[in-house]
Amino acid sequence: MTVDKTSRAPLLDQAPGDLLPAELLGRHDGGKEALPALDRRGFLKAAALPCLACGLGGAAVFIPRLQAARAKVDESRFVREARFYEKQPYKKIKCVLCPRECVIDDRERGYCGARENRGGTYYTLVHSRVCSAHIDPIEKKPFFHVYPGTTAFSIATAGCNVNCKMCQNWEISQVRPEQVRSVYLPPRELAALARQNGCKAIAYTYTEPVIFYEYMVDSADAGHAEGVKSVVVTGGYINRKPLEELCRHVDAIKVDLKAFSEKYYEEIVNGKLKPVLDGLVTIKSRGMWTEIVYLVVPTLNDGDDEFRGLAKWVKAELGPDVPVHFSRFHPEYLLKNLPPTPLKTLERAKAIADSEGLHYVYLGNVPGHPAESTYCPRCHKKIIDRVGYLVRSVHIKKGRCEFCNQEIPGVWGS
């Protein structure tokens, strides 16, 4: 789930009407609104322009709103038998996709709201059911060591397997698939759209891609067939087996590490910390590129001890080269009573992580701050110059610093 203020999906009412794919949305809202027709190429082109022009990548391509479905919708095309579940007596099932391991009665759904037990068989309801799509700079995910300066075709389906009180995108993450507008976008079409629009990667983001695991894996395979990479933006709340398999299909995984305390995970996230830490170790052990985002929420996870504990753990378990982004909180959803994170707090977090020996510590949601850029850990020169999500220069060649030849870890491409 994204925690980036600027990655919040605007409501449909706020989106320019001529960006809406009428031929797709029309099938889902029962003709409630008459939208101008626009072919895919047209709407993507139109949608991409404001995203890229603003340099921050924020315009909606198609965006949901909690809705009443006035007409019957053929939902069967979104429904596929889920993976990673066990059948139990009396038509119950046990989902083993994420550490929650919901035991679900017939006709009921799991915590995520996106998977349903139908007569003892478990189904995902969100395969190819895209509720939000943007063409974003890859820095917005954020990935700072993955193809800098490129774009990612970013998608989400409805649902999430946690319930963070500060979620920026709760209107799509904390709802059921049928409660938001969605379009049918099967993997091959998604991959083709990404390629046609010059995107280096497909990004699975905004909500929680673990809950649309099957679609993500199928899309990653389809993307690779088109020469398009796949990057995952996740809370990392996933069991080991599906995570290991996921690592065989995608190219990079960014993990939102919400805090470094079980208490926070229990009270604010409605989850547990340990499985996320275990997942990070698994990702690293599989040779997968990973970056970590830590959303700093005033008074809740902003203590020196927590920052230090996090930094020590990352260095010891993952190594000093894993980038850590300390990101600024903005009041949203159920945490509107707290102020935005003071810049000084973020700088304190960075100072502590730097002092513990992490090589790449960034600050997020503070456009123009020097800590948005990448510096060579050896010669300390700026090797990627960023302002917001705009990359102004890159001084990395064949994975090495152009100034001192220091190897810079990441996924840089040719």
- In the complex, the residues that contact another protein under the rule CB under 8 A are 66-70, 90-92, 103, 105-113, 163, 165, 174-176, 178-179, 270, 333-334
Smallest distance, another protein to C-beta of residue 239, A? 18
Q: Is 345 helix (H, G, I), strand (E, B) or coil?
A: helix
Smallest distance, another protein to C-beta of residue 90, A? 6
Half-sphere exposure of 184 (CA within 13 A, CB side): 13
Query: Beta strands 374-375 and 361-364: pairing type?
Result: unpaired
Q: With beta carbons less than 8 A apart as the criterion, state whether 107 and 117 touch.
A: yes
Smallest distance, another protein to C-beta of residue 14, A? 13
Question: CA Rg, the chain, in Å?
Answer: 21
Smallest distance, another protein to C-beta of residue 105, A? 5
110 or 187: whose CB is closer to another protein?
110
Cβ partners under 8 Å of residue 176, min gap 6: 109, 113, 114, 158, 159
180 or 216: whose CB is closer to another protein?
180
45 or 92: whose CB is closer to another protein?
92
93 or 352: whose CB is closer to another protein?
93
Integer Cα distance of 167 and 176 in angstroms: 16
Q: Is 230 helix (H, G, I), strand (E, B) or coil?
A: strand
CA atoms 110, 116, 120, 122: torsion sign:
negative
84 or 389: whose CB is closer to another protein?
84
Adjacent-strand bridge partners of 396 = 401
Smallest distance, another protein to C-beta of residue 113, A? 5
Phi, psi of 96 (to 5 degrees): -120, 25
Contacts within 8 Å (CB) and 24+ apart, 271-276:
271/99, 271/100, 271/161, 271/162, 271/235, 271/237, 272/99, 272/237, 275/98, 275/99, 275/236, 275/237, 275/238, 275/239, 276/235, 276/236, 276/237
48 or 175: whose CB is closer to another protein?
175
Smallest distance, another protein to C-beta of residue 211, A? 11
Smallest distance, another protein to C-beta of residue 51, A? 26
Helix %, strand %, coil % for the chain, to 5?
A: 30, 20, 50
Buried b (16+ CB within 10 A) or exposed e, 74-95: eeeebbbebbbbeeeeeeebbb
329 or 360: whose CB is closer to another protein?
329
89 or 287: whose CB is closer to another protein?
89
274 or 392: whose CB is closer to another protein?
274
Amino acid at 27: R
Contacts within 8 Å (CB) and 24+ apart, 351-355:
352/304, 352/307, 352/308, 352/311, 353/307, 353/310, 353/311, 353/314, 353/324, 353/326, 355/311
